[in-house]
A = this chain, B = another copy of it.
């Protein structure tokens, strides 16, 4: 057989719904406190309540959605204390990931990061909040993939997911015209093979944005 298996030709409905909702939440398409209904999700994706419920359960388990006592589901409205915790988590996890990626960061990776960073700048100039969040996370994910640490990366993505709706609320009222400064520091540290500098740059980049949220 030349082509033995197209491998998962048709993804399961619950998985498709899960991925779509996850993207929306992580990239700030949904505002904090927004309510969702199982029947509404099912209607939108052309499936019954069953896959809708499964995808919602999964997202609740990841902290992307919260369940009220009566089972109603909505995006979370994070308290300042919770935001501070999530910022610390981002810092802990992403500094570790960056540190592990450093010895594996070849020139091709650095060039790719610079290209992504240009997209970030573009999104900032266009006042495109969702685009900013998406490209910013792509910048970080591209670097961290080199760490070859899927468990840690998955945990970092879970934190991003929890912050998604809140980040939208932030960057919606953020008026900034410059590209992210710390991204340049990260790239410079990567080029120089400067591990302490990289750790500091990542910590700063991760902390900076979230600090505005708790004001």
A residues lining the B interface (CB < 8 Å): 8, 12, 50, 53-54, 57-63, 69, 71, 82, 85-86, 88-89, 92-93, 96, 149-152, 154-155, 158, 162
CA distance A152 to B60 in the complex (A): 16
User: Which residue of B8, B57, B88, B149 is within 8 Å of A152 (Cβ)?
Assistant: B88
From B59, B82, B92, B151, A93 is in contact (CB under 8 Å) with: B92
**CA A62 – CA B59 in complex, angstroms?**
10
Cβ B151 vs Cβ A86 within 8 A: yes
Copies in the complex: 2
- Chain B residue with the shortest CB-CB distance to A152: B85
Contact among B58, B69, B149 with A8 in the assembled complex (CB-CB below 8 Å): B69
| B contact residues around A88 at 8 Å (CB) | 96, 149, 152
From A50, A85, A162, residue with most partner B Cβ within 10 Å? A85
Which residue of A50, A57, A86, A88 has the most chain B CB atoms within 10 A of its CB atom?
Answer: A57
Whether B149 contacts A85 by the Cβ 8 Å rule is yes
> Which partner residue on chain B sits nearest A62 by CB separation?
B61
Which residues of B are found within 8 Å of A151, using beta-carbon distances?
63, 82, 85-86, 89, 162
A205 to B15, CA, bound (A): 38
Chain B residue numbers with a CB within 8 Å of A69 are 8
How far is it, in angstroms, between the C-alpha of A93 and the C-alpha of B62 when the chains are bound? 17
Q: B residues within 8 A CB of A85?
A: 149-152
Complex: A58 Cα to B58 Cα, angstroms: 5
Which residue in B59, B86, B92 is a CB contact (below 8 Å) of A92?
B92
Query: Can you list 14 A-B contacts with CB-CB less than 8 angstroms, sorted by A residue number?
Result: A50-B50, A54-B54, A57-B57, A58-B58, A58-B60, A61-B62, A63-B154, A85-B150, A86-B151, A89-B155, A92-B93, A92-B96, A151-B162, A155-B158
CA distance A63 to B150 in the complex (A): 12
Once bound together, how far apart are the Cα atoms of A14 and B144, in whole Å? 36
Which 7 residue pairs are nearest across A and B when measured between Cβ atoms? A61-B61, A85-B151, A58-B61, A92-B92, A57-B57, A54-B57, A85-B149
